[in-house]
């Protein structure tokens, strides 16, 4: 049986074309949950779920229990559904002793049962017996990790699927602020969709209000201050961060700065980056492209590389490495000072 994309499986489910066994695996849990939830909500009407739908959790289940449930005939219903969440935690799933029983069932599954394995954060080894058998007998979805440059397209597609639109700056802010956590990202977009005015698109003002980003004092404004070498603005933002540490934790801020300067380093390697080069890095908004173009003039290749080292150093300091009694606010303030006032790395690291 071929592997399927999330869209393939969702389309089949909508058309009520159900497979007897699903094996949903991979590093990105969003699509695994999406397909499993759709099966949970679609295969059986709500009135039949009490007797014919079972949800097991991997840490509390073994192969014998799973197969015992899968072999049960439905009670006064066309089908039964068995969903194993966190299937990677089933202790004997890949054990030799379980192999004959799994093989026997997968080669001849009960057609009235829809059996769903949710195997998160990793994949079966396709060279081993269970991986081969699942590939042959189950509908396999391999949910791959989404890269930073794929996030803007995901946001636009998700909003479009909800019959709404989103501005380029708002897309860039969500992509930068939330990153590749698709579960959190879709939750935030759903919140935005509930608050967007009829006839309007999601814009940066709505994102700032609903996602908890201060309009004047946020990491994007700090990033802009660094690009424009606006020392006064940078210090105002740092003071706000220090006064509101819970709303501005250092690790996400360092992550965003690291992402910005890493992309800047890649752009330097292109020399004179084209529009396609920007888009490969997920920089699709014209305003963001202007910021990066200005940053390339302000911070040359060597300086950009040094800044990345400084951010890594600050990350280690935030985790207690060579930081002494420095607070998170002091670590970030020192980092910003060193970005705006170049000091040889050898003088800092000794």
pLDDT tens for each residue of 219-247: 888 999 999 999 999 999 999 899 888 88
- Region of residue 110 (phi > 0: left; psi between -120 and 50: alpha; otherwise: beta): beta
Specify the pLDDT at position 348. 61
- Cα–Cα separations (whole angstroms), residue 77 to 47, 65, 71, 73, 310: 10, 22, 15, 9, 63
Whether the predicted pLDDT of 349 surpasses 60: no
Specify the pLDDT at position 344. 64
The overall average pLDDT reported for the chain is: 91
Whether the predicted pLDDT of 56 surpasses 60: yes
């Amino acid at each position: 049986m071929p592997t399927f994309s999330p869209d393939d499986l969702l389309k089949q489910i909508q058309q009520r074309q159900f497979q007897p066994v699903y094996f949903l695996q991979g590093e990105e849990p969003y699509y695994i949950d999406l397909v499993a939830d759709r099966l949970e909500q679609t295969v059986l009407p709500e009135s039949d779920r009490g007797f014919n739908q079972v949800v097991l959790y991997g840490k509390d289940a073994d192969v014998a229990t799973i197969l015992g449930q899968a072999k049960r005939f439905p009670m006064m219903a066309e089908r039964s559904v068995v969903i194993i969440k966190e299937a990677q935690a089933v202790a004997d799933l890949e054990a030799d002793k379980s192999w004959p029983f799994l093989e026997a069932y997968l080669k001849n599954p009960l057609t009235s049962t829809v059996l769903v394995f949710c195997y998160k954060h990793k994949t079966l080894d396709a060279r081993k017996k269970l991986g081969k058998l699942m590939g042959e007998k189950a509908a396999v979805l391999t949910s791959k990790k989404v890269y930073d440059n794929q996030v803007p397209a995901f946001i636009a597609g998700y909003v479009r699927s909800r019959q709404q639109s989103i501005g380029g700056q708002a897309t860039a802010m969500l992509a930068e602020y939330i990153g590749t956590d698709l579960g959190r990202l879709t939750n935030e977009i759903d919140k935005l969709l509930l608050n967007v005015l009829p006839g309007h698109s999601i814009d940066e003002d709505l994102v700032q209000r609903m996602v908890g980003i201060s309009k004047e004092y946020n990491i994007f404004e700090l990033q802009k201050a660094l690009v424009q070498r606006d020392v006064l603005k940078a210090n105002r933002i740092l003071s706000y961060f220090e006064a509101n540490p819970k709303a501005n934790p250092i690790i996400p801020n360092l992550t965003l700065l690291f992402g910005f300067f890493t992309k800047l380093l890649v752009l330097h390697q292109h020399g004179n980056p084209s529009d396609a080069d920007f888009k490969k890095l997920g920089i699709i908004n014209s305003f963001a492209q202007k910021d990066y173009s200005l940053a390339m003039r302000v911070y040359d290749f060597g300086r950009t590389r040094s800044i990345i080292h400084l951010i890594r150093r600050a990350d280690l300091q935030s985790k207690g490495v060579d930081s002494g009694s420095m607070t998170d606010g002091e670590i970030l303030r020192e980092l910003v000072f060193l970005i705006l006032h170049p000091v040889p790395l050898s003088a800092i690291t000794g």
